[in-house]
């Protein structure tokens, strides 16, 4: 339901309830109807007063997009390299649209690392070797591209959600709930979607975001780190669970975005 | 589930059902004191808010404050 619709219906219900309450209050033996009128007023006023789950303003979106600009040249370079390798080895186009994180050639998906020190970085593998580097190695990977002869396995980048640990609290405990943290960040603060649900299945979490504002990110961001809402969701899950998280799959439709995030991504190989 | 996917909508529906149940139950048992109904509504309101975990307003829940004042008034008038 749209926010304006909810407020209008709430006001109408409160108006009808107050009429019922005032009318029945003056008639003997109509106390239940008076109470029903009061209940309608309370429900109506509550509906009108509920916090509106508005989507983010252009200003908020501009700030979020600005936070991605710093890593964009780096991601473009990695994406170009991967596409080149992909097209040589597979003859492919380096992945299909609407699938983030794991779809550039044979490369393993980016891994959202748990927060440590300055924030929660994202490890982007540069080669297609498996198993992946150990989590300690990922956490110490360089933050820039080294010369091609340096045999660099991966790179550490700081995404838009890297500093969420400062908001969610250091070592944000899992007991408060992944879904609650996702809701706080994605719905209430960043306002990137109207609602979010998270279901844990084995060593993965399936996150469903309604009316997510995808399409704000560049192609390279989408292919390497996933769409902006999914990238933020992965950062939140990595922060709350203090476990490395990879975006296994991402499905974006007009009404909803579904992302499958796997835990223990450093061991997944 | 569509409309119930948003927690606020689920809260409104839950609170509405709860209020209706309370009013009908009290009417069935022949309760004639409005203060009892209002107390029941107040409890239903805060219970539903806790169960569904919704927030109204950024700083102050005006509806909650009004209900609390009415609840306090009904308790005071009943006791005195």
* ipTM score of complex: 0.86
Rounded to whole angstroms, the Cα distance separating A214 from A143 reads: 26
Q: For residue range B51-74, what is the model confidence (pLDDT) as tens digits?
A: 887 776 666 778 888 888 888 888
B73 at interface of A, judged by CB pairs closer than 8 A:
no
What's the CA angle centered on A109, arms A106 and A110, to 5 degrees?
Answer: 140
- Using CB atoms and an 8 Å cut-off, which of residues 1-20 of chain A contact chain B? 1, 6
Helix residue ranges, H only, A143-227: 165-168, 178-182, 219-225
Rounded to whole angstroms, the Cα distance separating A258 from A243 reads: 20
A32–B23 C-beta distance less than 8 A = yes
Query: How many contacts, defined by CB atoms under 8 Å, are there between A and B?
Result: 80
> Which pLDDT value is given to residue B21?
92
Chain mean position to CA A30: 51
Rounded to whole angstroms, the Cα distance separating A93 from A100 reads: 14
Rounded to whole angstroms, the Cα distance separating A245 from A159 reads: 14
Q: For residue range A194-208, what is the model confidence (pLDDT) as tens digits?
A: 888 888 888 888 998
User: Is pLDDT of A144 > 50?
Assistant: yes
Q: Is A35 helix (H, G, I), strand (E, B) or coil?
A: helix
- A-chain CB neighbours of B62 within 8 Å are 45, 49
> Which pLDDT value is given to residue A263?
78
Q: Is B71 helix (H, G, I), strand (E, B) or coil?
A: helix
Locate the chain B residue with the closest alpha carbon to A21: B34
Mean of per-residue pLDDT scores for chain A: 75
């Amino acid at each position: 339901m749209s926010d304006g619709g909810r407020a209008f219906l709430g006001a109408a219900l409160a108006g009808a309830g107050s009429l019922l309450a005032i009318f029945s209050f003056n008639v003997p033996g109509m106390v239940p109807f008076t109470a029903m009128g009061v209940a309608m007023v309370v429900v109506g006023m509550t509906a009108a007063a509920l916090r509106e789950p508005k989507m983010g303003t252009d200003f908020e979106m501009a700030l979020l997009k600005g936070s991605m600009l710093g890593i964009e040249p780096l991601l473009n370079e990695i994406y170009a390299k991967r596409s080149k390798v992909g097209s040589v080895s597979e003859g492919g186009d380096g992945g299909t649209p609407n699938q983030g994180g794991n779809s550039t050639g044979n490369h393993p998906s980016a891994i959202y690392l748990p927060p440590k020190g300055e924030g929660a970085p994202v490890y982007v593998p540069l080669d297609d070797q498996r198993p992946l580097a150990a989590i300690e190695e990922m956490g110490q990977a360089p933050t820039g591209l080294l010369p091609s002869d340096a045999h660099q396995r991966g790179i550490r980048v700081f995404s838009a959600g890297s500093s969420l640990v400062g908001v969610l609290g250091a070592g944000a405990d899992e007991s408060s709930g992944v879904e609650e943290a996702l809701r706080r960040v994605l719905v209430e603060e960043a306002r990137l979607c109207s609602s979010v649900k998270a279901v844990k299945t084995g060593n993965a979490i399936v996150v469903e975001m309604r009316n997510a504002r995808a399409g704000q990110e560049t192609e390279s961001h989408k292919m390497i780190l996933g769409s902006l809402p999914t990238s933020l969701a992965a950062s939140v899950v990595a922060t709350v669970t203090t476990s490395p998280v990879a975006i296994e799959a991402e499905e974006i439709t007009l009404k909803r975005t579904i992302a499958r995030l796997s835990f223990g991504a450093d061991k997944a190989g | 589930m569509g409309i119930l996917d948003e927690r606020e909508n689920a809260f409104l529906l839950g609170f509405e059902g709860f209020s209706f149940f309370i009013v009908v139950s009290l009417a069935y048992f022949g309760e004639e004191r409005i203060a009892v109904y209002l107390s029941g509504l107040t409890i239903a309101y805060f219970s539903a808010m806790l169960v569904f975990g919704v927030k109204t307003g950024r700083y102050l829940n005006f509806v909650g404050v009004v209900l609390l004042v009415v609840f306090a008034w009904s308790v005071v008038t009943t006791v005195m």
